Structure 1
Amino acid sequence: MIHDFGIVWDERALLLSGLANTAVISTLAAIAALILGCLLTPALMSKQRAVFGAARLFVDGMRCVPFLLFAYIVYYGLPSLGVRFDNWTSGLAALTIYNAAYMAEILRGAWAVQPREPIEAGIAFGFPEIRLFRRIILPPLLLSAGPVLGNQMIQIIKDSAFLTIIALPELTHAASSIQSRHYVPFAAFITAVFLYWGLCLVIEAGVSSIGRVAEARR
């Protein structure tokens, strides 16, 4: 067993490269998904049936499709329609679009329980809808939804492991490569588990910081 971990240690450059790729694509996807989620949230709260219906259809559709299947569609299915992406672009697009639906639903739920007084005050002062959302609604929304958004960011890190199916050189792909060449499955995959755990601990620390800021604002 010690010898197996020694093999993994010798392949540490490959694992660290996979870890870096996982961190980069997860960070980019989380930022992009949060931005798209912020744009979708007003549509989910819209009183116009067509706008609300389109946003709700997208959100419910993404939430009901397994991420692995969606990644297959983006990478293998879209070329049938003449749309081709490389594995990096496909992975980033799949993670972003899929998780944007969850981000939007999280923000919608947080918006629904926000106190009405600041919003009504902004309306009374004549704030346009876009400025009202950006200045009055969004900041407390992000703070109050911080822990749940953090959980979704952790989910993005875990979802990124599925991208090994499209040969994206992330952490799981690196561990699988080590296992296939040296046949040390336990050592390779348990090491990957601890590296994923480390990434998630970083997210948890950030969420805790946001929670302290939110508590200080109350």
Structure 2
Amino acid sequence: MSGIATVWSYRDAFLAGLGNTTALVLLALSLSLPLAGLTALVLVEAAAPVRRLGREAVDLFRCVPFLLLAYVIYYGLPELGLRLGAWWAGLLALVLYNGAYFAEILRTAALAVPRDALEAGRAFGFSRAQLYGRIVLPLIVLDAGPVIGNQVVVMIKDTALLMIITVQELSFVANFVNASAFAPLAPFATALVLYWLLCLVVEAGIRGLARERRRRYG
């Protein structure tokens, strides 16, 4: 059987793997970004002892290899009485690991917000909530958008490591097809193309944010 025919015969498996990968990334992104926003707020606004505690937590998750974190969550937590399925363990690992990076990205962007923009908001009588909602957050999103997008690309690639804890994402499917059909090139090349397409979608979003920033601020 040719490589193309092999991939076609396992198309449902590839579609399921692509769906799993996409769902993991979208759900991890929707959970990690709000978590990162709250963490960044703590790192910028909280009292010094709380900021130090937040900094230690962020540094911990940034310094631990992603695969090791996934191992600890999937294989280690059951010893403490918390057992998660492979998919949910993978999702939690993605949220904690990438959330730490997002928090640092947002913290840096928040510190770079021009002081004159904040002073102008205060002069108009904005409350702290209004300052963040109408000035700080839009500036952070537009300025940090490309870096956030790069981290999303890293997140997409991190999902491939979850095959080690039996999450049935794209790399798992490609490896399964290879083992079943004894045809390594076609299934792995198919997975490569699908990962590339996912990253192209992210890059299109980054370009859109860059255009919006130029439109607003020149």
| Structure 1 residue 120 displacement after superposition | 2.5
| Structure 1 residue 75 displacement after superposition | 0.8
The equivalent of 2:183 in structure 1 is 184
1:48 aligns with 2:47: yes
Alignment deviations for residues 126-164 of structure 1 (CA, whole Å, 9 cap, x no partner): 544344323321111011111111111111110011111
The equivalent of 1:202 in structure 2 is 201
Task: Give the TM-score of the pair, scaled to structure 2.
Answer: 0.94
**How many residue pairs end up in the alignment?**
217
Moved segments of 4+, more than 3 Å = 121-131
Letter paired with 2:42: A
The equivalent of 2:25 in structure 1 is 26
Q: Matched residues, percent identical? A: 46
Which deviates more from structure 2 when the two are superposed, residues 141-150 or residues 109-118?
A: 109-118
| Structure 1 residue 5 displacement after superposition | 2.9
The equivalent of 1:156 in structure 2 is 155
CA distance in 2: counterparts of 1:134 and 1:65, whole angstroms: 33
Which deviates more from structure 2 when the two are superposed, residues 190-199 or residues 134-143?
A: 134-143
The equivalent of 2:15 in structure 1 is 16
The equivalent of 1:57 in structure 2 is 56
| Structure 1 residue 47 displacement after superposition | 5.5
Unaligned stretches of 5+ residues in structure 2:
none
The equivalent of 1:167 in structure 2 is 166
The equivalent of 1:74 in structure 2 is 73
Secondary structure of residue in 2 paired with 1:45: helix
1:217 aligns with 2:213: no
Which deviates more from structure 2 when the two are superposed, residues 117-126 or residues 14-23?
A: 117-126
CA distance in 1: counterparts of 2:85 and 2:207, whole angstroms: 36
Letter paired with 1:88: W
Unaligned stretches of 5+ residues in structure 1:
none
Alignment deviations for residues 174-202 of structure 1 (CA, whole Å, 9 cap, x no partner): 11110111111122111101110000001
CA distance in 2: counterparts of 1:85 and 1:136, whole angstroms: 40
CA distance in 2: counterparts of 1:97 and 1:209, whole angstroms: 27
Q: CA RMSD in A?
A: 1.5
| Structure 1 residue 82 displacement after superposition | 0.9
